[in-house]
Amino acid sequence: MQGEIMDIGLDNLLGETARIKVEGYRFVTISCVEINEIRMELLYHFDRNFQLKHLRLSISRDCRAPSISPVYFAAFLVENEIQDLFGIRFHGLTVDYDRTLYLEKDVKTAPFCKFAVVEKSPVCEEKTP
């Protein structure tokens, strides 16, 4: 994959993102990949003059991730999308659709997950996996 990849944890995600913003990177998007029944992977993509930089965050399915939308406003849309499709909850979202961006209000499942997951309330918060 083009560009450098950095593995990060829940605790230094916001710090890294802020640093990347200061360096003049543009927010591209976040990709969510389902690894197995427990782990999910969030890939944050940034770009500066066509040089990509990726942050790789491994996260447990029932964890809440901090939202980077206070740093990059544009991230609110994709974070809401991940909330809807993969069921990972974000906290601190600037605009929170509460899983209604694509879904109806009463949907509890995450349609993009291969392993059928019904939404539960998150058990851990900002804990390094």
- Where along the sequence are the contacts to other proteins (CB under 8 A)? 1-3, 26-29, 31-34, 43, 45, 50, 52, 72-74, 76-78, 85, 95, 97, 100-103, 111-112, 114
* Minimum CB distance to other proteins smaller for 10 or for 75: 75
Measured CA to CA, the distance from residue 52 to residue 35 in angstroms comes to 23
Q: What is the DSSP letter of 25?
A: P
Kindly tell me which of 15 and 111 has the beta carbon lying closer to other proteins.
111
**Rounded to the nearest whole angstrom, what is the least distance from the CB of residue 39 to other proteins in the complex?**
13
State the nearest-atom distance from the C-beta of 35 to other proteins, in Å.
9
Residue nearer to other proteins on the CB measure, 12 or 56? 56
Q: How would DSSP label each residue in 69-108?
A: TTTSTTHHHHHHHHHHHH--EEES-SS---S-SSS-TT--
Task: Specify the DSSP class assigned to residue 67.
Answer: P
Between residues 111 and 129, which has the closer beta carbon with respect to other proteins? 111
Is residue 47 within 8 Å of residue 25, measured between CB atoms? yes
